[in-house]
Chain A
Amino acid sequence: MANLTNLYDVSKCTACRGCMVACKDWNQLPAVIEPFKGNYDTHGGDTNGDTFTVVRFIEGEDPVDGVFWNFLKYQCMHCFYPACMKVCPQGAYSKTEWGATFHDPEKCIGCQYCTYACPFMIPKYRKREDKISKCTLCVDRVEEGLTPACARTCPTGALKFGDREELLAEAEERVKFLQANGFPRATIYGRVELGGLNKLYVLTDSPDKFGLPVDPKVPGQISFWQNWVQPYFGWLIPVALAGSAVSFVTTRILANKNGDHTEGGHE
């Protein structure tokens, strides 16, 4: 079956955040109202356990072009070769035949290894359930013949859903057009990154201008984990989660990626 995906064209996104609300509505995610911190970027530009997608606002000034304000819808990239799935000891992750990376909360035990493995730091721990949550690519809608809630609601046409090959062709056209019309650095994101993402972006500038890793990489420890730890010590994990010393050890093996990942998760 062909891959079905979203094409998100930043040159058409008005940062209305309708997609964020539609996502919360469809997935019945609660609002977490926090004080305004001086930036439209309410969620610090990152997803969280109750927010599967965010729109980033990146403000800057260019000596030639003047002020710019870049917007970016951010969510799980549904990687062709998902690191989250690779590390999950419980097999909670799976790929649908049309390309979504599906996380099954029934199988999830809240170990959070996927949060360290994901190059985009997408899976987030939901403390109250002791489980991970993330964008589902609206599996439950797509398999009923509907488009994902975010794409369905997008008023400008920035977000589309369809056959990846067709959307890729469209993205190429758009990038050509943009390059010829004031955006010489316009590019596609998601075609080759990490061997391909089941999410396509048309960017008006280089990925770093949108807070995306230019050359995303799966952390080196992942293959160590996959090739050594899991086959021999995988049975240890349920035990580890009971709070034994092994938990500390196994968590540390992976947790050197960045200090933000506090034990016990964050919401």
Chain B
Amino acid sequence: MTNHIVDLKNTDCALIMGSNAAENHPISMRWLLRAREQRNAKIIHVDPRYTRTSARADIYAPLRSGTDIAFLGGMIKYIIDNEKYHKDYVLAYTNASFLVKDEYGFEDGLFSGYDPEKRSYDVSSWDYQYDENGLPIKDPTLQHPRCVFQLLKQHYERYDIDTVCQITGTPKKKYLEVLEAFSATGAPDKTGTIMYAMGITQHTVGSQNVRAFAIVQLLLGNMGRPGGGVNALRGENNVQGATDMALLFHIIPGYIDSPTNGADNKDLLAYIRKATPGAAKLQFNSLEEFRQLVAAGFPNSGFKINTSKWMVSLLKAWWGDAANAENDFAYHYMPKRDANKNYSHIALFEAMHRGEIDGLFVNGTNPVVGGPNANKEQEALSKLKWMVSIDLWLNETADFWTYPAWQRPVENENVPKLAANDIQTEVFFLPAAAVYEKEGTASQTGRWVQYRWQGADPVGESKADLWIYNELGKRIKSLYAGSSKPEDEPITQLAWNYDDEHGHDDIMKVAAELCGFNVADGLPVEGFANLKDDGSTACGCWVYCGAMTYKDGKVIYKPQLRDNKDNSKEGLGLFSNWAWAWPVNRRIVYNRCSISPDGVTPWPGDEKRVLIRWDEAAGSWVGDDVCDTGKTSPPEKAMPFIMRPEGMGCIFATKTSMKDGPFPEHYEPWESPTANTMNKQNLNPATKVWEPDKQGTPDKYPIIATTYRVVEHWQTGALTRNLPWLAELMPDMMVEISEELAREKGIKNGRKVIVSTTRGDIEAVACVTKRFKPFNIHGKQIHEIGLLWHYGFKGFATGDPANRLTPHVGCANTMIPEYKAFLCDVRRA
């Protein structure tokens, strides 16, 4: 979230899209409903199915799964055509006025630079025009035909209301209601929030769906202001923390680019040149020379100019004394990924299926239920030599080799059926402690890092994750102890000091490393501005720097703070002394935008939602939130989007920001019941297709399927299907089907049905409901059904995993699987 959960109470209008917030983020509704109660805020829910969120919304608008960009593209057009955008904001805080290179273009669904062989783009034309000083050229009148604003207008010219509704299947009247209600937040005294979740991201155009949100919110002037923002509701309590710690393969902790095996990453200097925006153009042969250039104001890379400090401090945290100026701070110890390889979930399981992977640690995940194309992923596990499962329960993945794991409702020659004695994988199970049985922090969806104290002792032999990994680290190190081989140095030299004086793991030592310390005295680094690239500081994750502080002879770990008094004078619910938010305890990012460009005048009529203001006398920004711009940069210099080289919100995403285009464009899902009428490409041209032979076509599989969760269960259900009280509430795998489709197929409510795709078949109980309705797509009636993806063969509530049906295809940028839109058929069991 750019904002945070409590902040939802400050909104005038919420667009919930691709999210079933009421069910999957119940607490978000507490604050959103307060906005309705206290500010008369409107709640809009856009979803293929009427859910418990729709029941609490003022406007519900259905849309066919996978057509979000058409929906939002039409909104962008509406905002521009009807001049609903927040003009002063757009001009001052976005790149709308920037001129784009003449080489950039878009035709027939393809942006300039496309290579059909590689299914990828050369992004060099997706860039600004620069003046002789290397600064982008702008047209503040927004009239120049090459300015971002005009290009945007031109791009979405095709997205008129009728065309959009033909694609999305949204009734025109409803669509207009949504457009009107949400674009009203473009008024300077209004803000609107967008809440989204996996219904947006789990598509072949997932990242571009989010980009479309960003454009809408920048046009309406809703970023960086209370009650606004683009708010990803994270699906697990600590998934934000996991991402901060580099859950994703292309980054290392703190969202730093992970080094590759390419020549441009061969040593620390090469890496810094590559990873620091703009540095490639500069001449420097040592870190010292680079530092001098930075001191002189080069390159123009926004806040990422600090990449060298983050990286060197990280290397110091990992290899301690063995990382020094003479050996490139042990950069050569750091594992390098193959620049040409993809290591995302799908790719990993494809490689496993080919027999390329020997062993696997599975913790906090259950791919036999949760992975896409779960039949294939289950088979892939059988090709491992060994697998370590760390979980609270012997879940479906831990027990993938047992008899029930291979039972299927119908025989299907394409689906493997193994027997336990065909499987040679050796499975180790380590029982893990539950969240209340261990200590540590969880970083919630609003980036608040909150400490949790242990509430109960772990059951039986189960252990906290830290204990497990600390033991693993220590034992691996002891196996290598005494080795003098240089290739073993990354392990022998690894700094691994997480034990207290009694030899027990000490979580505060981990915290101290993550938050950063001065090498000389071991005291916390007070904020990431103090990190250095000369080896004097160590920091395991720069975005957490500042969470630990030293005051009056005491170390204070801020995630443990529990002051539940709202420090905001206007009652905006910042609660800045409750826990700590990254970065630097900033509760609302881009908050420079909460006040008009001059830094002193509030947006007209919106005095109460000002977060920071420029204090001329003090020569700094002051306010209830931590400012998100140079603290002492005067208003005309204080950039609102400091992570960007141009310092502006990007309506046009330049160069490498996106793999599949500077503007979001509508493409159909990989499996779609209809051809794309918006342009000539059916599928996102930059998406990798893993299994072309597994693409279902509408002649055999005419029905759209989507997957989702219900409030009663959580993720793959390991945690909840093992709790009798929750199993009682949602006892079986079920599929929601419209009354119209049920009639067509002779399906009775409460009876069993078989759902099939090219990947497999599952059995489920039919829930025939008025809340799903067929869509009218280009004049044709198209059905959509919805499947819960919580179920497996273990626990009190059991059922077939929906993911036996889902495809191995994902977003062009992130490779997140397209769980949310695929084709199926359904029949009575």
Q: Is A21 an interface residue (CB 8 A)?
A: yes
B728 x A32 contact (CB < 8 A): yes
Main secondary structure of the interface of B (DSSP, over half): mixed
Contact with A along B759-797 (1 / 0, CB 8 A): 000000111111101000000000000000000000011
| Interface footprint category on A | 35 or more
| Interface footprint category on B | 35 or more
Task: Kindly state the separation between the CA atoms of A38 and B731 in the bound complex, as whole angstroms.
Answer: 11
Task: Kindly state the separation between the CA atoms of A135 and B751 in the bound complex, as whole angstroms.
Answer: 33
B29 x A14 contact (CB < 8 A): yes
Contact with B along A1-43 (1 / 0, CB 8 A): 0000000000110111110110011000011111111111010
B767 x A39 contact (CB < 8 A): yes
Task: Kindly state the separation between the CA atoms of A174 and B23 in the bound complex, as whole angstroms.
Answer: 24
A69 x B50 contact (CB < 8 A): yes
Task: Kindly state the separation between the CA atoms of A24 and B55 in the bound complex, as whole angstroms.
Answer: 26
Cβ-closest chain B residue relative to A24: B725
A69 x B731 contact (CB < 8 A): no
Cβ-closest chain A residue relative to B765: A36
- Identify which of A60-68, A91-99, A100-108 touches chain B: A60-68
Which chain A residues lie closer than 8 Å to B242 at the CB level? none
Q: Is B598 an interface residue (CB 8 A)?
A: no
Task: Kindly state the separation between the CA atoms of A179 and B565 in the bound complex, as whole angstroms.
Answer: 34
Q: Is A155 an interface residue (CB 8 A)?
A: yes
Q: Is A59 an interface residue (CB 8 A)?
A: yes
Q: Closest Cβ of chain B: how far from A160's Cβ, in Å?
A: 12
A181 x B771 contact (CB < 8 A): no
A38 x B726 contact (CB < 8 A): no
Cβ-closest chain A residue relative to B21: A14
Q: Closest Cβ of chain A: how far from B505's Cβ, in Å?
A: 32
A38 x B766 contact (CB < 8 A): yes
Cβ-closest chain B residue relative to A181: B40
Q: Is A238 an interface residue (CB 8 A)?
A: no
Q: Is B37 an interface residue (CB 8 A)?
A: yes
Task: Kindly state the separation between the CA atoms of A157 and B29 in the bound complex, as whole angstroms.
Answer: 9
The residue from B30, B33, B55 contacting A71, defined by CB atoms under 8 A apart: B55
Most chain-B CB neighbours within 10 Å: which of A31, A34, A61? Answer: A31
Question: Which residues of A169-208 are within 8 A (CB) of B?
Answer: 174, 177, 181-182
With A14-B53, A69-B52 already in contact, the answer to whether A33 and B726 are too (CB < 8 A) is no
Q: Is B27 an interface residue (CB 8 A)?
A: yes
B724 x A155 contact (CB < 8 A): no
Which chain A residues lie closer than 8 Å to B29 at the CB level? 12, 14, 155-156
Question: Which residues of B359-380 are within 8 A (CB) of A?
Answer: none
Q: Closest Cβ of chain B: how far from A120's Cβ, in Å?
A: 22
By a beta-carbon cutoff of 8 Å, the part of chain A in contact with chain B is 11-12, 14-18, 20-21, 24-25, 30-40, 42, 59-61, 66-71, 155-157, 174, 177, 181-182
By a beta-carbon cutoff of 8 Å, the part of chain B in contact with chain A is 22-23, 26-27, 29-30, 33-34, 37, 40, 50, 52-56, 58, 60, 711-712, 724-732, 734, 749-751, 765-771, 773, 796-797
The contact sample of 17 A-B pairs, CB cut-off 8 A, is: A11-B33, A14-B23, A14-B52, A14-B711, A31-B724, A33-B728, A33-B797, A35-B731, A35-B732, A36-B732, A39-B749, A42-B728, A42-B731, A69-B55, A69-B771, A156-B33, A157-B30
- 9 smallest A-B Cβ distances: which pairs? A38-B750, A31-B724, A38-B749, A14-B22, A36-B732, A31-B728, A155-B26, A69-B55, A37-B750
Contacts A24-B725, A35-B765, A38-B767 known; 13 new A-B pairs at CB < 8 A: A12-B29, A12-B56, A14-B55, A14-B711, A15-B52, A31-B724, A31-B728, A42-B728, A67-B60, A67-B771, A157-B33, A174-B37, A181-B40
